[in-house]
Amino acid sequence: MPRVKRGVMTKKRHNKIIKQAKGYFSSRKNVFQTANEAVAKAGNYAYRDRRVKKRDFRRLWIARMSAACRNGGTTYSAFIHALGKAEISLDRKVLSDMAINDPAAFTTLIKQVGLAG
């Protein structure tokens, strides 16, 4: 069966997709139709997971702070509420880092916001 002549732009577009599929398994790396599907799905996963990553890190920070709060004699929710009332604006990332790397300062912060220590 004779090959169908394609235009220059079609070839460029196909090659762009094939280049993006470099490293994929089997025909996903060199057959345009499967490569196109694989690249599209990978793009969707990448878009979604950039947002999921933010959620995952926030969950990690909260888990770390919760453990540190329990060591300090309080709960995470009570600690966050007390921070808000004391108008201390530190985000969870900074508080988590403080809880891991400087537990003494974190305990001092718990006492500063008026919670038992």
- Dist CA 17 CA 77 (whole Å): 48
Per-residue pLDDT at 41: 97
- Dist CA 63 CA 80 (whole Å): 13
Per-residue pLDDT at 116: 63
pTM greater than the 0.75 cutoff: yes
- Dist CA 49 CA 40 (whole Å): 14
pLDDT in tens, 41-98: 999 999 999 999 999 999 999 999 999 999 999 999 999 999 999 999 999 999 999 9
Domains along the chain?
A: 8-112 (1.10.1900.20)
Entry field: residues in the chain: 117
